[in-house]
Every structure is written in C-alpha cells, then in structure tokens.
Structure 1
C-alpha cells in the first residue's frame, strides 16, 4: 500500500507523534543513574532478599507468616478470613492515600523486574518504544472489578449475606497469620518464572517500560484511584523553565513538565514517585511535597496530559478483542496459567498480532529493532513473523479448545457430584446381607435391592448418569488431545467414572458399571477398593474368573481387609475350588474372627469337602453372630 493510500487517521496520528517527539527532549542512553535510582534499586533488591528469607524460614521451621499476597483480599471479601495479605494491602492503600504511589515504585517485585529489563535493554542500546492505547488502559480497572467487586455483585444477586470477619488457623483452613502451607496461593516455580518472564521482561521489550503497570496490574488500578486523593505529590516550588528534563527521565512516561506548568503538580496517577524527575531537574524546582489532590482541582485535572495515542479505533478494538481471546483461551489452562500472567500475555499477543496485521496496509512496520515490512516489501524477519504467527494461532486455537472442555467439564463434574450426594444412598455397613451374596460394594447400590432404579428417565440414578456422562465427555477430550494432564483432570475423571458406575449399578447396567471401573483402574492401577468393587460386579454378573482376578489384586494391595478374602473365598466356593476357598475364608477369619459371612461360607466349603462336624461348628458360629444366617437346610449341601 502506498503512502498516498494510508488511512487518514493513521497519517494524522503519525504526524502528531512526530511533532510530539520534536517537542520533547530525548533521554540519553549514557546518562548516569541518579542517587534516587540507586536507593530505589537497593530497596527493590531488598524486597527479593526478604522474600528469600521468608521462604527459607518456612523451609527450615515448617511454619511461617502467611504470604503477603495482595490477592488474598479476595478471600477476606468472599469468606471473611482476615489474612496477613489483606492487612498488608490495607496498609499499602492507607500509605498511598497519604503519600502517593510510593509502594509501586519502591517495593513492587514485578516493577523491579520491569525496571531491571529496561536497564538491561539500555545497556545494549535498545530503547523499546512505549505503546499508547486507549482501550488497553481499561484492562486494569476491569481486572480489578472482576477480582474484587464482581463476586460481591454475585453475592447480592444471590441474596447471600456478607461474611463475618474472623481469624483462622491452619486446622480451620486458610490460616490468617501463621501457616505451614506457604505455597497455598502461589504458583509453582516453573509458572512463577514464566510469569516473571512475561510480566517483567517480555512486556517491557514489546510495549515499553512499565507497561505491565499501565495495561495489566489490577492493584495499580486501586492505587491510581487513591493517588488522586493523596496530598503527597510531585510539585513545582518555583518557575518551571519547561526544559523537559523531568519528562525525559520519567520511566512511567508522564509529561511532567507540562503538568507542572499547568497545575503546579503532577496529576497523572501513573506517577510512581520514583523521584527521577526530582533528581533530573537542573534548577531544583521539581520536588516531592504536599499539594492539592487532583480530586479537589476540578474535572480538568482528572484528565492528565498525554502524548498522542498510537492506534486507530479499529486497531484499538482489535487489541481489546485479542487480549480477551487470549485471556479466555489460556487463563487456568491445564490448571496452571494464572490470571495476571495471561492478561500480560494477552496484551503482548494483541500488539504483536496487530504489527503483523499492519503489514497488509502500511508501508513500513517494525517490532522493536526488526522490520516486518520496509519500503513496501516484506523482510525475512517479516516472513519469520508470519510463520510464527500462524503457528501461534494454531496453538491458540488448540488451547482454546482444551480450555473450553476443561471449564465445561469441571463445571458439569461439580453438578454431577452435587446430584450424587443427594441421590445415591451411602455405603452400607457389614458386607452383604444375604448368605449367598458375596458382599455389597462399598459406594455401589445393590442392583437386586428394592431401592434399585425403576428406569424412569427422571429418577435420580438416570439424572446422575446423564450428568456424569456429560462431564466425562468434556474431560475425555482434554485427556485425549491435551498437551499436559494436570492431576485434577485425572482425579476428576476417576471420581466421575465411579459416580457413573454407581448410577449404572442402580440402573442394573452392570456391564456399563464394570467398564467405568476398568477406566478408573487405567488411571489408578493400585486402587484396591476399585479392584474390590470390580470383583463384586463381576461375581454378580457371573464372570467368576474376572472376579477372582480382581479380588486377588485387592487382597494383594490391601491384605488386611477381611471382606476381600471372604468374597474371594465365596467365588472360589462357587467355582468348587474348595482348597482355594478354604484358604481365603480362613484368612478372613484370622483378620476378623467375628465375621459372620466368612463362618457361613466356610461352613458350606467344609460341608462340600466332607467335613460336616467342622461345618456345623462354623455354621453355629455364623448363626450366633447373625441370626439371619440360620439355615434349615442340610449344611452338607453343596452350593
């Protein structure tokens, strides 16, 4: 596309940017760090030192102060649990209200990484151009609303009362101050490193210094609002010469000299009070002091002076939609990607994608030092960018597919579990209720009982079966096509297969129940209880060889369970394997001498083996323990 055909809005914006760049001084790359910069660097390093000491104290003592995470405010608002993180956030808010945004500039661990990245890039003479977007400025307040206010809106809509503020210990869950679970609300080391890489380094290289603070951080949105009320400000104590040195050194891209000339103070809430402007002022006019907050200066002071924005409204909409799309596709993916990391990734991908898109209608397009298109021709770097963009779109689509099924599957699983807790009866007491019964399955309804399902599609087992099947269909897609299998996925599938097996037993679908429990075994081959349940179902279905196999596995995995040996002995009895039956039943009685069914079944084995006296003794013991086992029939009768 020729320059003549460039959209008028883009040309106008470019002209404004050129004019603005001529009017403002440029910071020299070789300029030495100010004394405030050295002090601030020391405090930011100290933040990481204190974090390391905190973790080391927990590792050594096993118990430490709960993490000072600002997002623990959500647990206070939702559950009423007063935590160290909540009190820390409250302290920072009060300090910001009094003194301005010093915390962000002097104590934020993410800003430390952002400024470190900017410093390293300066050392190699790379100056990322700050990106200026209208709609992306809405991301932090929207994220803040979603994290802190939206749950309260839902609470009001659902008519739930406000929680009562209280303290908790570890035993009560989510301890307020002292905890043994330091990582309770923190990502693992791998995800933490990836978060730091995206939110502390990549975003600075792509979008400019402190772009995480500008376009992502929800806590910064809270502090921006409080800063508008704070009397602690950057002020001018004399006549400003408008040399622009203060503006040139500001890492937050505040137009300091113009705001000082117009208002006598900096009103832009992006000011983080790092005091670089104070150190850079050649006349000493710029100071930190007390001034009238912007809130008291009228509506004009609510609109800080900004440099021109970089995008047309169509491009702004693109940035917003892509950011949202990346957030929906990656947030919580594989139970790993945290909210703020995916927000940071979203704004990065949105801008990089726009740069690739711009090659279709702009003559010259670059990303950092690399040109995608120059003088109307796509460069080799541009071709590589096309290939990477295509690969990322495929990965993005795959991740969105997996994330959709994760979300839908886990939501359906929660519904299925809630239904099952109401619908399916709890496990019975002693194994079995009839002399011939090998034993009821713990957690599985007896298909021969009068409470078994009538087959009505609206009865509870049918509802549970359908609900569990819906959740399973979603989560099996994640297991089949996902690049990773998080532990929660396997745990949820195990639970769902078991629930559906329970429902299918109630519906007299033993074949389906057996298939579901076999799926559980593929996920957890060492589950003794599942082998036991499969033994019961196979025995009930007449599949005695399979029943023996599963009971034998259960006995090997749990050799102290008398019910397993009783049921194994019963199946051997039914197969007329008298020796195996006797050994299993005697083992059951060794483990539990008062096991009535084991006495009864052993009596039948002994009678069939031609030992009526021993059979009578065990039958008498069975009748004494459980009068229901009294049999008028000849104990010598074979099964």
Structure 2
C-alpha cells in the first residue's frame, strides 16, 4: 500500500505532458508557407528580399558581398551559441521533410533502422570545410587579400538584400523536387530518421560546433528512473537517458532541441534550461556507453570511397546537380554498395522490412534489389562517362579561349578539336544537354569554321558552322558567318535563311541586313531587298556597301534620282566604288 501511495503521488506530481511535435510541425509548415508568400510577393512586385540561402555565406567570404543569407546565418549562429540547435528542428525545411518521411513510414509500419558509421559522420564536417574554409586557404596560398565587406545591388551583379532575381541561386523546380525526395525521404528510408542531418548536412556541422558552447541544454530535473522513453522518441538518436545520468544534461551536439524527450518523460524529470556548456565537459564521450558500429573497417572504407566517387561523378552533372544533393546521393549509394556486398556474403539480409535474402537465396524482393542495383550501377557508369567528357571539354575550352589565334587564320588547334570531341560525346550520349555546354560546343565549331574559311577550305568550314548553328542556333554571329560561307559556295537560298535567323537574334546587325538585302535583290525580291538595305543604312549611316546595293536596287526599279543620290554617297564614303558608280550612272542615262 505504501508503494502504491508513493507511485500515485509521483504520478500526480508529474506535470501535464505537452505535445511539442504538433507545435513543431506547425512551425515547420509555416516555413514553407513563408517561402510561398515570399515567392508570390516577388512575382507580384517584381522585387523582393533576397533569398535567405545559407550557402550565400560563400559570396560574403569570397567576394565580400554582405547578403541576406549571410545575415540570416549570423543570426542563427548567435542564437545557437546561446540556446542550442533549435533552428535545425524548428526552422529547417529539409528536416521538415525528413520528419514527415519518418512519420509517413511509421504509418505503413516501416521504422527505418538508423545506421552507425565511424567515417560517414565526418562527411558533414569535411563538406563544411570544403565549402567555407578551403577557399580561404586557397586565398592565403595565392596571397590574395581578404575582400572588404560591402553592399551591392542587382545592377552590380549580385544584390545584397533587395533583388529582382529571386531565383538567382536556387535550382530549377525539377532539381528542387529531386533534392527534396533524396534528402528528405530516400535518405531517411536508407540511413534512418534525420539521416541527412547526421551524415550529409555541412551547415549541421557548423551548428554542432556552435552548440558545444551553448548554455541552453536539455537537463535532468530531479532523480531519473532511467526508463529510456526519452531516448526511444529521440529522432536524432541521442542517448538521452544515459547523458542525463552521466552529466545531468545532454552534451551530445546531435541534440536538435526538438523537446520530444521532455514531452515523453512520464515523470516530468526532463526540462530545457541553463547548464554548463558541453565544451567544458572533460572526457564526456568515454562516460556514455555507445552502441557498436554497424560496419567493419573494410565496409567503412568502401563507403568513404563511394562518397568520393559520387562527388566526382554527380556534382555538377549536366550543370544541374547541386552539392548537397550530391552528398545525400553519395551517402545513400555508399550504404547501398555495402548491402550489395553483404548480399554476396550473408545467408540472410534485409533493409528495414525489405527482405533481400533468406536462407542463402534471393527473395522476390531480392531480385528487385538486384535489378535496382544494376540500374544504379549503369546510371553511375554512364554519368561518370558524361562527367569525364564534360570536364575534359571544359578544361580544353578554357585553353582554347586563351589562344584565340585560331579565329584569325591559324589552323584549328589540337586542343580545339579535342574539346569538340569531348563535347560531342556529351551531346551524343547525354540524357540532358546543358545550354552552356551547347554554347561552348557551338563556339568551338564556329572558331573551327572561321579558321578553315581563312584557309580556303570552305566546304569543311560550312560543315563546322552548320553544326554550330544546329547545336546553339541563338548565336547571331554564327548564323551570320554560316550565311557568308553558304553564299560564297553558291548555296544562296540557304544563306538567306541563315541571314534571316541572324537578324532574328540580332535585329541591329547592319551587316546581316545588307547581305540579306543583296541576296534578295539577286533573287528578284526587290521590295524585300529595299527594306533590309534601308534598315542597314538606318543602323549604320556611314555604310558605303549598303548605299551602293540599295542604289542598284533603285536603278532596277527605275528610280533614277534616288539611285544617283545613293550611289554618289557610296562613292564619297568609299572611293573603291567610284569607278563602278560612274559606269552604272552612265549606263542608266
């Protein structure tokens, strides 16, 4: 009876449990609502606050531009140093997707098993150093001074706070959705809840460091029964009950302060409050027993190698895949590779509820796993092939740009032809065709065409220029050059089309108007010729060739006075026309 009375009093003394998860869900949903309102304001007003992108810190560190993203990052860092990692669990849009994925999976009775890796946990720190520290090391090695902090506007190339280019640093809708799918859902299924936060997020690495100095911590309030319910509900996989027993507070920087542990404590013995910062705890890690790691050292090294390969293959693939998506993809592929290896060695294997192998044989799910593995391998090899050719093409393109002698009569260089070969491989085999890559390929073909034309090899020049305007038709100069070669080869109908396209993309090109007018006159379209030749003269008043050609058109139309005026003006502007003008006017009389 006494024990029952004490338990009853303890239960009665426990405070009412709060549902922090519901409040946090509302807060995280508000993040997406604010983003939507921000986007709508930009669409309606045409100008809005620059996106609060944390990666814009790099523009501040590298160029000295104070951006809205930098200010936002500074505010979050200061808050984290004092209060802990509240932003990660209450304000991060990726964590919102991760927790949503975990909740949805729980509804279909799938509880992803969190993995424990020795090496993967260092990926966020390595990524953070690569993004923010390595550029500064390069600056120091190159003896470049630190840039002065300053503000900019859109007119200066990159606005600090107010911009009309809201989407300037954001991926397209397709890549955004893919990033959300991989970073928010796939990685949770593969690596466990908040897998992206633990194994991929470089900003999380920064906040982990800041959290070590924070006095705001999850603390024990009175005696703890060590029931472990706080640890069971922690989606960040912090051993809350052991930390509280060892230190009286949670020192693990993986704690995101989502407060679920406080809500879960049946006795109300856990609270958030001020305590000694974790940085002041000596030998803390050794005082908390940790679960064993899930991988052998060979598997750890294999996963590290896969992540490095993924960075080389997928980052910047097709000028689309961003760094964070590459990190998440690399982590997923790393664990998938380990599972493939285990499928060859183990009699039984499963991934969550997905039974891959049982009693030494592949199950139906295992055959699906094998098919998916084959497709992933094929995609990775194909992507590596494309990435190699794109990298080599861009490298050679830069060397060609530094030696533009090829455009002034020299034969096409070996580097130029090799660059064309690499880019053509990307065009032929790539799943997507980046616009910048097409522009560079067209530029190389255009340079080759000009060089060959200077050598008198007009047929070969026409072939290169035809490819240039096929790959990137929006280059008016290439269209014009193609028209010149076609006209010289006698393919005048095709030349007319090339000149028309040149004028479409560069309406103020006087030379294109003049050449088109000349060809139209030769084809008998005198009205069209008159229009384009007049336009050429309007664009360039001192244009002897256009005046001469228009004078000839007027002679053909019988407008002798107008023709005389134009022809005499042409002879005055360019003496080489004088003899032709005298003969034409004499014949007209």
Return the TM-score normalized by structure 1: 0.80
Question: Are the structure 2 counterparts of residues 596 and 203 from structure 1 closer, same or farther at C-alpha, using a change threshold of 3 Å?
Answer: same
1:203 and 1:212 in contact (8 A); partners too:
yes
Shift of 1:64: 1.0
Ranges in structure 2 where 5+ consecutive residues have no aligned partner: 1-15
Instruction: Give the structure 1 partner of residue 464 of structure 2.
Output: 516
Q: Is the 8 A contact 2:83 2:217 kept in 1?
A: yes
Which of 5, 18, 21 in structure 2 is aligned with 1:37?
21
Say which SS state the counterpart of residue 287 (structure 1) adopts. Answer: strand
Residue 341 of structure 1 aligns with which residue? 325
Give the Cα separation in 2 of the matches to 1:244 and 1:290: 23
TM-score normalised per structure 2: 0.87
Provide the residue aligned with 2:355 in structure 1: 371
Q: 1:310 aligns with which of 294, 298, 304?
A: 294
Q: 1:325 to 1:616 in 2, by over 3 A?
A: same
Contact 1:603/1:635 (8 A) holds in 2: no
Match of 1:68 among 52, 73, 93: 52
1:228-247 equivalence runs, <5 A: 228-247=212-231
Q: Secondary structure at the match of 2:238?
A: coil
- Correspondence for 1:202 among 165, 169, 186: 186
Deviation at 1:113, TM superposition (A): 1.1
Structure 1 residue 483 and structure 2 residue 431: aligned? yes
8 Å contact kept, 1:131–1:207: yes
Give the conservation status (yes or no) of the 8 Å contact 1:237–1:286: yes
Distance 1:304 1:149, change over 3 A: farther
For residues 239 and 616 of structure 1, do their structure 2 counterparts lie closer, same or farther at Cα, with a shift above 3 Å needed? closer
Q: 1:415: how far off?
A: 3.4
Equivalent position of 2:386 in the other structure:
402
| Cα deviations by residue, 1:295-345 (Å, 9 ceiling, x for unpaired) | 222244588653211011011111111222223222222222211112112
For 1:141, which of 125, 137, 140 is the aligned residue?
A: 125
Stretch deviating more after TM superposition (525-534 or 272-281): 525-534
**Cα deviation, residue 365, structure 1:** 0.8
Distance in 2 (CA, whole Å) between partners of 1:257 and 1:632 is 100
Cα shift at 1:294: 2.2
Measure the CA separation in 1 of the matches of 2:28 and 2:567. 80
After superposition, residues 228-307 of structure 1 pair within 5 angstroms as 228-301=212-285, 305-307=289-291
- Pick the aligned partner of 2:572 from 624, 627, 636: 624
Q: Distance in 2 between matches of 1:632 and 1:122?
A: 89
Q: Does 1:546 align with 2:502?
A: no
Offset at residue 581 of structure 1 (A): 8.5
Q: Whose helix proportion is higher, 1 or 2?
A: 2
Query: Which residue matches 1:498?
Result: 446
1:338-396 Cα offsets, whole Å, 9 max, x none, are: 11112112211221221122022122210110211122222121122112211221111
Instruction: Quote the Cα distance in structure 2 between the aligned partners of 1:500 and 1:360.
Output: 52
1:537 equivalent in alignment to 2:485: yes
Question: Compared with structure 1, are the counterparts of its residues 296 and 612 closer, same or farther at alpha carbon in structure 2 (3 Å cutoff)?
Answer: closer
Deviates more, 1:384-393 or 1:137-146: 384-393
Say which SS state the counterpart of residue 233 (structure 1) adopts: strand
Task: Give the match for residue 18 of structure 1.
Answer: none
Does the 8 Å CA contact 2:446/2:468 hold for their aligned counterparts?
yes
SS of equivalent residue, structure 2 residue 357: strand
Which residue number corresponds to residue 102 of structure 2? 118
Which residue of structure 2 lines up, in the alignment, with residue 393 of structure 1? Answer: 377
Q: Is the 8 A contact 1:586 1:602 kept in 2?
A: no
Root mean square deviation, CA, Å: 3.2
- Choose 89-98 or 504-513, whichever is displaced more: 504-513
Please state if 1:563 is matched with 2:515: no
Query: C-alpha separation between the residues in 2 aligned to 1:401 and 1:632?
Result: 60
CA distance in 2, matches of 1:92, 1:40: 17
Query: Residues 114-154 of structure 1: CA distance to partner in whole angstroms, max 9, x if unpaired?
Result: 11111222222221111111111111011111111111222
Structure 1 residues 319 and 579, CA, compared in 2 at 3 Å: closer, same or farther? closer
Structure 1 residue 551: Cα displacement: 3.7
Q: Secondary structure at the match of 1:359?
A: helix
- For 2:17 and 2:105, how far apart are their aligned partners in 1? 14
Distance 2:190 2:99 in 1: 14
Distance across 1 between alignment mates of 2:161 and 2:274 = 35
Task: Describe the SS at the equivalent of 2:237.
Answer: coil
Whether the aligned pair in 2 keeps the contact of 1:268 and 1:304 (CA below 8 Å) is no
Between the aligned partners of 1:241 and 1:261, the Cα distance in structure 2 is 9
Q: Taking structure 1 as reference, are residues 506 and 590 closer, same or farther at Cα in structure 2, changes over 3 Å only?
A: closer
The answer for the alignment partner of 1:588 in structure 2 is 533
Query: What secondary structure does 1:535 align onto?
Result: helix
Give a deviation string over 1:550-581, Cα, whole Å, max 9, x none. Answer: 146415763876534544576799xxx69678
1-structure distance, mates of 2:347, 2:216: 47
Deviation, 1:199, is 0.9
TM-fit CA distance, 1:197: 1.1
Match of 1:220, SS state, is: helix
How many pairs were matched up? 565
Asked whether the 8 Å contact 2:520–2:528 carries over to 1, the reply is: no
**From 115, 118, 132, the counterpart of 1:131:** 115
Give secondary structure in 1 for the equivalent of 2:334. Answer: helix
Whether contact under 8 Å (2:28, 2:90) holds in the other structure is yes
Q: Where do 5+ consecutive residues of structure 1 fail to align?
A: 1-31, 425-443, 446-452, 454-460
Could you list the per-position Cα deviations for residues 149-206 of structure 1 after superposition, in whole angstroms to 9, with x for gaps in the alignment? 1112222222222111111111112211111111111112221111111111111111
Secondary structure of residue in 2 paired with 1:288: strand
Distance in 2 (alpha carbons) for counterparts of 1:582 and 1:273? 77
SS of equivalent residue, structure 2 residue 30: helix
**Greater mean deviation of Cα atoms: 596-605 or 106-115:** 596-605
